[in-house]
Structure 1
Amino acid sequence: MKPFVNWTALIVMGAALIWGTLARAESHEKIVETYGYSFYGDLTYPEDYPHFSYVNPDAPKGGEISLSVVGTFDSMHPYTRKGRAGALSTIMYESLLGQGPSGVSAPADVYAEYYGLLAERLEYDEGKNWVIFHMRPEARFSDGTPVTAHDIAFSHNLLLDEGLKSYADAVRKRIPKVEVLDDHTIKFYFTEGISRRSLVDQVGFVPAWSKKWYEETGAGLNESRLDVSPGSGPYVIDSVDVNRRIVYKRNEDYWGNDLPFNVGRNNFDTIRVEYFGDDTAAFEAFKAGEYTFRREVDSKKWATQYDFPKIDSGAVVKKALPDGSPPTPSGIVFNLGSDVLQDRSVRQALALAYNFEWTNESLQYGLFRQRASFTQDTPLMATGLPEGAELEFLKGFGDLVPEGLLTTEAFVPHTSKAERLLDRRNIRRAMKLLDKAGWAVGSDGVRRNDQGETLKINFLFNSSSPPTLSSVMENFVSNVRKLGVDISFEKVDPSQYTSRERDRDYDLVYDSYAAFLGTGTGLEQRYGSEAAEFSLFNPAGLASPLVDKIIEASLQAQTREEEQTALMALDRVLRYELIMIPVWYNPEHWVAYYDMFEHPENIPPYALGQLDFWWYNADKAAALRASGALR
């Protein structure tokens, strides 16, 4: 069962929460000095917090955890626009405000609260027109050189000059200037007249790269490469065998070991990543002990294949752990730049070809729930007809609001019969929609418009995906063909998939957006028109003036209640736009691991944390090796 999460407390965060700041008057403006940051100024952890509440502060250091990745890589540079970066290749880098491994939330028990890592404190004016970070002078890169404000400024500017265009364009408009005040003090200025959202945290999460290394090597973000800038984080690269293995080792001289931010965390001496050509090979390797921790996403495997001898003996633990995060909005994404898919009726018809109930029962063992919302199972999820504050909010946008949005309940996926893949009722509805859209069925059973053009669609799919996912999508394609649509299901290798996805060379693609619990400028990159033509975070290419206005209003919200109203309306409109066919979600983490890893009793809502706050039991590991269960 999914655990109870007090969403109201997490989103509203009452005034009783501790805010460790000092406000002082200076030149008639109020200045806030603090050890952490949240937009509304409330922090759960006090300034003298000893460690995060969910970690084991006495967790031992040592041992190795190993995991698998299906696919390939040709670079260890995670921020380049070229190549395919190796797994966890961001793990070496830290920022002014801290995060968990590879960008996972830290702390993982609160939302939108950030605590200093490279920065020991920050200050900003009450209007958030600028922010100054005071960095920890003891911070060091793994090569022993100090991390300075010059490195942060260099990294920020390099991302603007050579990083992803959607990121650079968005940030440059909002952050016009950065100033190094001294070696350990840096100031960012924010554009006047824009929302103050996601400005402080935006610059607070710039990865710290070594300016010295980049200048000496001449490296940039326009190339894939295996040698990369040293980081300041707890792990460094130990070895790289392209397309086979990456090993990271804990830096014994890591400067931040004793910070409260890191107590009980970064516990493994080694993190090993094994690469495989497909998931079947990866699973067999796990059973053989070639790697030791597996997150399962394939329902068929979870239901039927975890019955091997090591499970029976207890050498391998199979466990479902609670997941308190809203599920990732995954599904079959429509490329709205495709001529045939710009007609919403065509999208509705294709959506009716997906049979969740049959898929879940026949292929996924009834283990999933059907997702409807971009904020599923949270108070931000739109339900029923808009009413109250949400209704008044939407009415304020006048003619931008489609009439049907106010008079129909929030869009939820259709239901289908579980007994057979082809639900004839839904297929008839789909055919009527296509007829109405001008795609008539010819004598050969193929749909054409009045110019004689075939209704032709291509579905791009990553060949390294789990077999069950592939089967689900193939059955969907089978139903689409029965509508008279000429649809091709293109399975391509991971490299081709990455390249074609970047070029948006598809009509349909299985992909995802990001769930949201709060507003921020990231919403504009994911759902806004600003970078819709090229943003990798907006695979549908959604460009809706109404969505833009709602996001803008959410960014201008002055209270949590106003923000919540705007985001509920955003969820409603995104669902109405029908940018994807929503599929399923799992309210749990499915994990299997060799019985030598341990974790806190209570998993925090926003991270599983296997690489973050789990730890290694050396005695259990020795017993596994003595029994022959582990190599």
Structure 2
Amino acid sequence: MMRFGISVALVGALAAPAMAEVTISHGYSAFGELKYGPDFTHFDYANPEAPQGGTMSQRQLYGYGSFNSLNIFIIKGDSAPEVGHHVYDVLMERAYDEPDAVYGLIAETIEYPDDLSYVAFNLRPEARFHDGHPVTAQDVVFTINALKTEGHPYYRNFLADVLAVEAENDHRVRIDLAEGVGRAYPGEIANLAVLPEHFYEASPFDESWMHIPLGSGPYTVTAVDAPRMITFCRDLDYWAADLPVNAGKNNFDCFAYEYFADDTVGMEAFAAGEYLMRAEYTSSRWATGYDFPAAQQGWVQQVLVPDGRPTNAQGFWLNMRKPALQDIRVRQALEYAFNFEWTNETVFYDAYKRSDSFFENTDMQAEGLPEGDELAILEDYRDQLPEAVFTEPAHVPPVSRPIPRDRSALREAARLLDEAGWVVDDAGVRRNAAGEPLRLEFPDDSRGLEPVITPYVENLRSLGVDISFDLIDPAGMSERRQTYDFDISMSAWQVSVTPGATLRGFYGASAAAAEGSNNLTGLADPVVDALIERIAGVDSRAALVPAVKALDRVLRSKQIWVAGWHLGAHRLAMWDVFGRPEEPALYDFNRGVDFWWFDRPKYEALVEAGALTDRF
């Protein structure tokens, strides 16, 4: 298929049984045509006339945690995620108004045969790192090899299908791929950051460190005060400033991130104008907390930004590495003990909907009984799946009455625990036949969800579960997650619009065995692995949807989590000093801010009114 590219037939010295058609293109889309042709000047959601200047000062990304490392690619340390956001350029940049398209950044073009046995990237000769060194194909080779062997388990799992990587010359790199990788994989490879090999001669790749990282992106780290703040300012000699993928982007002179261990303090700082924008993760604060003088004056705005991506897979993840949680009846009991309906009404101001799917808010969510192509896929594994997968609707969480303690739900939880052999003793503690208590550890590093978790923990204690809920520091929480030292962990994963090989890192057996992976539950199941590989290998979105539905149905049948909640949008609070594109990208949020700009007249008016100080 021609995707605004050049199609050529590769012919060897001797006639081959069949010739592979090769596409060379300025962009890549897994399924379907590219929206933007080779001569495009900017993305539709960008404003190429946006003014430059000012500082985007905001709370840390993702709203929690701290940092003690600037090496974001490994498991060691607590790294600052903003580094990846600003410092490193990728081979090809995502278009956030298309589900899975990427366009040339470091790579001018991508090349691939129809069978996807390899993917090659032709690099722009002008690409430069911040120290002036050219970006070469050897840097790409170094990046992939380092991530595959010493990187975070996420990268190691994702890059398992890379068989070999070779620099064919300074500006061309070829990556040989395993059979059946699927059409999404080249785009995912293209979205990898490219790291400078020469930098790591003095900065070991597999160690955490706090010196300034070297990249080729639009910003460099200019100030660090760990764990309180990190600032990035524009590289005035940024090599790619005029490329179409960057038109209307990177408009701020600097990005400054303020870290707060206590978000109450963070909110007070925002209200006082110490920083200018925050994503709000607390529904009660969104509903009642923005009544300070600046908000009452209209100087601070609350904006709900729609998100067309799949909703976060958020919930209480149950660590099945622990013997007690290997029994599905115990996991089912933990689900009955969580009263979402009361929580939503009392704590969340009815802001959310209950999640039931790992691919919520998409057409990839399993519903009802399996049928059609989804059923045909599941039939291949019928002898390895419980009959209920075929005869009962896809699992949804039980609905509780919106009262503090729904006794009918708790009775069902108690029945399941009894059935699993955890019986209440004379002291009210559940014990197994060996006399061991049902003891669960639930650590967390944020007080933001304490009003949600505390009633849940109280319900479990009323059932005789010896559960401890401990608020610990972010560094301690990071360490416990890396070593899976917990029974329950609250977390959320952003799901791709086009799921593929990255699913291994969340649900694959190889990730379950790797320290520090995102497979918090320890799930290691051959059917799940097979379905993930099937998803990774599909050749059309029509084939992708039923395959993901099948995976969703199987995952839900295993009840590896107590499902959380979703909004389908992002709550942003900001001082009214920014300009924003009229039509934001459908499939973006975090990167969307990169297309905002500083509105100098609005800012000066607030300074003159005494609302802000002149420091941004």
Q: Does 1:627 align with 2:615?
A: no
Match of residue 471 from structure 1: 451
Q: CA 1:575 to 1:514, structure 2 compared with 1: closer, same or farther past 3 Å?
A: farther
Aligned residue among 434, 444, 450 for 1:461? 444
Displacement, 1:237? 0.9
Letter in 2 for 1:324: G
CA distance in 1, matches of 2:490, 2:249: 34
Match of residue 277 from structure 1: 261
CA distance in 1, matches of 2:540, 2:256: 45
Match of residue 447 from structure 1: 430
- TM-score, normalised to structure 2, is 0.94
Task: Check conservation: 1:296, 1:302, Cα contact below 8 A.
Answer: yes
Counterparts of residues 395-414 of structure 1 (less than 5 Å): 395-414=379-398
Aligned residue among 51, 59, 77 for 2:71? 77
Counterparts of residues 301-340 of structure 1 (less than 5 Å): 301-340=285-324
Q: Does 1:289 align with 2:273?
A: yes
Letter in 2 for 1:29: A
Q: CA 1:546 to 1:393, structure 2 compared with 1: closer, same or farther past 3 Å?
A: same
Match of residue 148 from structure 1: 136
Match of residue 368 from structure 2: 384
- TM-score, normalised to structure 1, is 0.92
CA distance in 1, matches of 2:233, 2:8: 44
Letter in 1 for 2:484: R
Aligned residue among 571, 575, 597 for 2:578? 597
Displacement, 1:257? 0.9
Match of residue 138 from structure 1: 126
CA distance in 1, matches of 2:361, 2:200: 45
Aligned residue among 561, 576, 593 for 1:580? 561
Displacement, 1:423? 0.4
Match of residue 161 from structure 2: 174
Task: Check conservation: 1:210, 1:229, Cα contact below 8 A.
Answer: no
CA distance in 1, matches of 2:538, 2:117: 17
Displacement, 1:302? 0.5
CA distance in 1, matches of 2:410, 2:283: 27
Task: Check conservation: 2:423, 2:431, Cα contact below 8 A.
Answer: yes
Displacement, 1:394? 1.1
Residues 326-335 or 140-149, more deviating: 140-149
Match of residue 509 from structure 2: 529
Q: CA 1:68 to 1:513, structure 2 compared with 1: closer, same or farther past 3 Å?
A: closer
Match of residue 261 from structure 1: 245
Letter in 2 for 1:178: V
| 3-state SS of 2:457 partner | helix
Q: Does 1:429 align with 2:412?
A: yes
Residues 55-64 or 606-615, more deviating: 606-615
Letter in 2 for 1:180: A
| 3-state SS of 1:176 partner | strand
CA distance in 2, matches of 1:514, 1:63: 30
Letter in 1 for 2:140: I
Match of residue 7 from structure 1: none
CA distance in 1, matches of 2:313, 2:572: 21
Displacement, 1:150? 1.7
Q: CA 1:618 to 1:593, structure 2 compared with 1: closer, same or farther past 3 Å?
A: same
Aligned residue among 177, 187, 190 for 1:190? 177
Task: Check conservation: 1:197, 1:521, Cα contact below 8 A.
Answer: no
Aligned residue among 8, 21, 28 for 1:30? 21
Task: Check conservation: 1:197, 1:519, Cα contact below 8 A.
Answer: no
Match of residue 102 from structure 1: none
Aligned residue among 351, 362, 365 for 1:367? 351
| 3-state SS of 1:179 partner | strand
Aligned residue among 523, 530, 536 for 1:555? 536
CA distance in 1, matches of 2:151, 2:495: 24
Counterparts of residues 241-256 of structure 1 (less than 5 Å): 241-256=225-240
Task: Check conservation: 1:87, 1:273, Cα contact below 8 A.
Answer: no
CA distance in 1, matches of 2:278, 2:200: 36
CA distance in 2, matches of 1:307, 1:242: 31
Letter in 2 for 1:300: S
Letter in 1 for 2:310: P
Task: Check conservation: 1:188, 1:203, Cα contact below 8 A.
Answer: no
Q: 1:582-621, CA deviations, whole angstroms, 9 ceiling, x for partnerless residues?
A: 1111122111111111211222222134531111100111
Q: CA 1:220 to 1:205, structure 2 compared with 1: closer, same or farther past 3 Å?
A: farther
CA distance in 2, matches of 1:620, 1:166: 43
Letter in 1 for 2:407: R
Match of residue 212 from structure 1: 198
Aligned length: 600
Residues 429-438 or 237-246, more deviating: 237-246
Match of residue 11 from structure 1: none
Displacement, 1:136? 0.7
Match of residue 51 from structure 1: 42
Q: CA 1:322 to 1:332, structure 2 compared with 1: closer, same or farther past 3 Å?
A: same
Match of residue 614 from structure 1: 596
CA distance in 2, matches of 1:438, 1:60: 67
Q: 1:545-597, CA deviations, whole angstroms, 9 ceiling, x for partnerless residues?
A: 22122222223333322221111111111111111111111122111111111
Q: Does 1:543 align with 2:524?
A: yes
CA distance in 1, matches of 2:439, 2:133: 58
Q: CA 1:45 to 1:560, structure 2 compared with 1: closer, same or farther past 3 Å?
A: same
Q: Does 1:60 align with 2:44?
A: no
Displacement, 1:196? 3.6
Q: CA 1:553 to 1:527, structure 2 compared with 1: closer, same or farther past 3 Å?
A: same
Q: Does 1:502 align with 2:482?
A: yes
Letter in 1 for 2:166: E
Q: CA 1:263 to 1:190, structure 2 compared with 1: closer, same or farther past 3 Å?
A: same
Task: Check conservation: 2:511, 2:518, Cα contact below 8 A.
Answer: no
Task: Check conservation: 2:220, 2:232, Cα contact below 8 A.
Answer: yes
| 3-state SS of 1:89 partner | helix
Match of residue 114 from structure 2: 126
Displacement, 1:165? 4.3
| 3-state SS of 1:530 partner | helix
Letter in 2 for 1:581: V
| 3-state SS of 1:523 partner | helix
Letter in 2 for 1:95: V
The runs of 5 or more residues in structure 2 that have no matched partner are 12-18
Q: CA 1:55 to 1:202, structure 2 compared with 1: closer, same or farther past 3 Å?
A: closer
Task: Check conservation: 2:314, 2:492, Cα contact below 8 A.
Answer: yes
Q: CA 1:48 to 1:21, structure 2 compared with 1: closer, same or farther past 3 Å?
A: same
Match of residue 95 from structure 1: 90
Give identity over the alignment, percent.
39
CA distance in 2, matches of 1:76, 1:459: 28
Task: Check conservation: 1:318, 1:592, Cα contact below 8 A.
Answer: yes
Letter in 2 for 1:483: L
CA distance in 1, matches of 2:155, 2:596: 33
| 3-state SS of 2:23 partner | strand
Task: Check conservation: 1:459, 1:487, Cα contact below 8 A.
Answer: yes
Match of residue 8 from structure 1: none
Task: Check conservation: 1:374, 1:516, Cα contact below 8 A.
Answer: no
Task: Check conservation: 1:77, 1:228, Cα contact below 8 A.
Answer: no
Displacement, 1:213? 2.2
Task: Check conservation: 2:130, 2:215, Cα contact below 8 A.
Answer: yes
CA distance in 1, matches of 2:76, 2:142: 20
